[in-house]
Structure 1
Amino acid sequence: MTTTKAALAAGLISAALLAGCSNLESTEPAVAASEQGIPQRGVMILQCGGSPVRVTLTGEQALIEAMQGRFLLERVVTASGARYEAPDDSSTSFWNKGDKGLLTIRGESLPECEPAGALVLQAGEWVVEDINRGGIIDRSRVTLNFGNDGRVSGRASCNNYVGAYQVDGRTLQLSQLATTRRACAPALNEQETRFVQTLEQISRFSLDETGALILEGDEGGSLKARLE
């Protein structure tokens, strides 16, 4: 199976998250959580050592998507946290505690899993489809590119912009934003101003059940974008 950016947008791990692991072979069928009848109550992108892992949790099941394959686990009784095991192989398990976890696949224990925030943002170019829940102008283009050097850049509507960003779990801070100064049509100029002002206020991010990137600020501003 070849992983792609479109796969992440559909709810699977993207090739960018599995850097260096294209043409990944899986012993499990490539089926998304929704197709397996699992309500999407919680999705986490984790990094277990050097391995990115997508975990879709419900009250009784966990869908694990990793470089080693895809595994549908069932919840078992445990003293603390939430533990899940493969029904036919107890050597494959995931123990969830808050936004962290312990993953064992076929008897091999991976390092403790922690939120892999930067990997999600760096998956590729995100095309903005909504600013503050008001959509965007038809045929206009607003983009986000999070580089692995801590720089963010893209198109703000008419002008290009650059800035810096920092990630800590699902917390996101942007700073030093600057744009070029090309003349814009009034409508594009207004949209560009709203986008930049909203971007400056962003404090956290997440992926929704469709794979869209949601950026939110404490003052109520929000951006929604998808991988192109």
Structure 2
Amino acid sequence: MLSIFTDRRKFSAGTVLCWTIHFFPAVISHRRQFNGTSLAGLLTKGINMTFSPQLLGSTLLTALLLSACQPESKPASLPDSAPAQQLASADNSRTAVDWPGSYQGVIPCADCSGIKLTLQLQADQQYQLSRYYQERADEPEQTSGRFEWSDDGSSIQLDDADGSRFLVGENRLLLLDQQGQRIGGELAAQYWLDKQQDEPDDSAPAVAAGLTIAGKWQLIELMQQSVADDNQVFLQFDPAGRVSGYTGCNNLTGSYKLQDAMLSFGPLATTRKACREDTLEPQFLEVLAKVDNISIAGEVLSLNRARMAPLARFRRLEQDQAE
């Protein structure tokens, strides 16, 4: 008949050892003495045992199972202070800080004079990021997508290729390393981006002398995403301050006001056709409502808001194309 002996011992160091031994009483007893010590005593002392046929007699020990418990552990003590990237406040940046807006700064660069970062954060957790490698690149790199908040609401992570992370403060962002930690060293203070006032970027090319937005412009890019070449979305401006166009589903008409590079649209009226779900119309109308300035480079018109990346780009249509 198989019997079971179970014991549990706690040692001075706090280690707990427990075991269960299955044995046949006819073969071995846990009370049997070995060199003056019982089987239980040998296990308690941590002595390795080897049973031999001579010790057990002619009958083999068919089952012997020893299982150890994990040491009883106490909860790890919490650090006295939170990590550097956390905010020591009951309110977190997500709820207590007016974070939507455009941020700009020049961070260190290994092979150029600096990287000019412009990051636009929207309340719906969409972003537009511009990276301009000064004295090395002709055009900035544009990225857009979605960002997520950290569990403690103190930082955000972009869904770009680098998984860029930023600590969010009042009117400032701090670029973090890939582990979400502050970047140290002598250049640590150069990783801040400051929130920009809601005004056009003076460095952006505005409407050059002799150029006008009068004419017909076909959409080529919307929210940093290229659109199909055969799309029919356009805007047409006349010198008298009237604008008309096509949203990809409905016609629109209204007024506009342009002073230097500052552009604003008056109320825009559209027809009421039912639109397919994949139409560009909702985004297009949203962009027109946000625009406050423009820039023209060659035959490309950019509609912008503050210093963020262009919301939409258009190419000028020749007279025969405009008809």
Please indicate the TM-score interval, normalised by the length of the shorter structure.
Answer: 0.3 to 0.5
Task: Compute the TM-score of the two structures, normalised by the length of structure 2.
Answer: 0.32
Greater length-normalized contact order (CA 8 Å, ≥ 6 residues apart): 1
| Higher relative strand content | 1
